[in-house]
Amino acid sequence: MFDSITGSIKNAVNKIRHKDDVASLKKATLELKKSLLKADVHHKTTKELVTAIELETKRVGIGQDSFINALKSELTKTLTTEGNQGFVFSNTPPTTILMTGLQGSGKTTTTGKLASYLKQRKKKVLVAAGDLQRLAAVEQLKQIAAQVEVDVYFDDNETNPIKIALAAKEKATKEHYDVLLIDTAGRLAIDEELMTQLKDVRDAVNPDEIFYVADSLTGHDATKTASSFKEQIGIDGVILSKYDGDTKGGVALSIASQVGVPLRFIGTGEKMPDLEVFIPDRIVSRLLGLGDIEGLAEKTSAVIDEKKAKEVSRKIKKGEFNFNDFLDQLAMMSKLGSMKSIIGMIPGLSQMAGPLKDMDFENSDEIKRIKALIGSMTEKERLQPSLINPSRKKRIAKGSGLSEVQINKILKQFKNASKMAKKLSSKGGMKGLQNMMSQMGPGGMPNLPR
């Protein structure tokens, strides 16, 4: 999602080859200006940003380092606006959030993603189905709530969204929920009826904050509609949905500066865990191709069992990693969200991970075959893959629906992956991880020698 802007920034930086070369700085800023506009950054934001970078670079002394430092500083300023970052809890639970947005922006799905994000952080969450305008909106929220395992409040006999919101808040208060997320109605465009209804719900429940969900694929329109909602309803933060599908990515740079409301989260994929806190200096680090180790640590700490992680690490070092461990790690990785968003956080990997970026830990054909294989093994075979001889392979092939050739390939991949992980754990360091990633095939296993 940041690849386009990151590549453009690198091209601009490379224009500056010598110190105190004014002509090369002009070329770099012109390249940057064109790239930002092409990436859908608002023209006013682009002009202000490029001018500030040029002035700061000249003030310090023209050179690649000073240009990069100016870029980092000014990008952070552009993305920073007054207000909260991430999710802020009320001193008096439940923290009540009104989720607003236009129809089709991904508001209901984003409500589910935010609920999943909070549940991973051990919070008791209630979502309220207050969108009574769109057909199947209530049913959609019920299904999402079941998927992320949070409670949902709905009333199929009620047609007044204000009563739904008030009843949900009463339930959340009585039953000691930490957070209440109220999904509200949307329209295909902003209209008076929509705004009146949202104001009525807002005034009735007095939410701690109002989030506006903006579809990043709509480009400049996302900025315009967010501004309209801010003026008419009052919003405390923007969540950009579908950001993984926005190859340009420039709307994120425009929202804060043009709307004057902080970006709080971005949707980075289709899965429920694919929601990231938007913290300006971390995002700038990723825009410059430097990764986001802090963000990665926060993301993984919410889903990884530290005790299990230590046990797996010990097994890898001893060469005892088995198929049960593999399934456990697969389940853990699926909770982290898409591989694309994870790799983008690791310095130096975003440009080199290749097909691994599009790896789906639940639905890829390769993973389905591996799961079928493991499902046809005995418990002893899972714990000791070395036991699998030709006769066992025939039995496993029959049970899994795979050919013996496919089974031999998967077993060889698993053996190579275990060896590689053992080697990496003994060497450590980012270089070893980069070498491992460069050897990965589309199935998340090492490429086999031909």
Residues 24 and 137 in one domain: no
Is residue 228 situated within a structural domain?
A: yes
260: confidence class by pLDDT, cuts 50, 70, 90: confident
pLDDT at residue 248, as a whole number: 55
Residues 229 and 353 in one domain: no
Among the residue ranges 32-36, 133-137, 253-257, the one predicted with the least confidence is 253-257
Q: Could you list the residue range(s) of the whole structural domain that residue 46 is in?
A: 1-77
Residues 237 and 145 in one domain: yes
At residue 77, φ and ψ (nearest 5 deg) are: -60, -40
Mean pLDDT of all residues in 241-264: 76
Residues 173 and 38 in one domain: no
Among the residue ranges 26-35, 88-97, 135-144, 427-436, the one predicted with the least confidence is 427-436
Short-list 242, 244, 240, CA closest to 265: 240
SS3 sequence, 378-441? CHHHHHCHHHCCHHHHHHHHHHHCCCHHHHHHHHHHHHHHHHHHHHHHHHCHHHHHHHHHHCEC
Mean pLDDT of all residues in 105-111: 93
Mean pLDDT of all residues in 214-227: 83
Domains held by the chain: number: 3
Q: What is the CATH number of the domain that holds 179?
A: 3.40.50.300
Higher pLDDT, 356 or 71: 71
Higher pLDDT, 326 or 372: 372
Using the CB atoms, write b or e for 197-217: b if 16+ within 10 Å.
bbeebbeebebbbbbbbbbbb
Residues 157 and 98 in one domain: yes
Is residue 334 situated within a structural domain?
A: yes
CA distance to 167, 326, 351, 364, 423, per residue, from 336 (Å)? 33, 16, 20, 16, 24
Higher pLDDT, 377 or 359: 377
Residues 51 and 115 in one domain: no
Is residue 369 situated within a structural domain?
A: yes
Higher pLDDT, 360 or 120: 120
Residues 312 and 189 in one domain: no
Among the residue ranges 18-27, 127-136, 301-310, the one predicted with the least confidence is 301-310
Higher pLDDT, 358 or 172: 172
Residues 378 and 272 in one domain: no
Q: Is the pLDDT of residue 35 over 90?
A: no
Mean pLDDT score of the chain: 81
Higher pLDDT, 292 or 201: 201
- Given 261, 277, 293, the domain boundary residue is 277
pLDDT at residue 410, as a whole number: 86
Residues 16 and 133 in one domain: no
Residues 111 and 249 in one domain: yes
Mean pLDDT of all residues in 112-125: 94
Convert the pLDDT of each residue in 280-301 to its tens digit: 888 787 777 666 566 666 666 6
Q: What is the CATH number of the domain that holds 7?
A: 1.20.120.140
Share of residues in the chain with pLDDT > 90 (%): 30
Residues 237 and 206 in one domain: yes
Higher pLDDT, 133 or 210: 210
Residues 311 and 177 in one domain: no
pLDDT at residue 357, as a whole number: 54
Is residue 288 situated within a structural domain?
A: no
Q: Is the pLDDT of residue 421 over 60?
A: yes
pLDDT at residue 429, as a whole number: 46
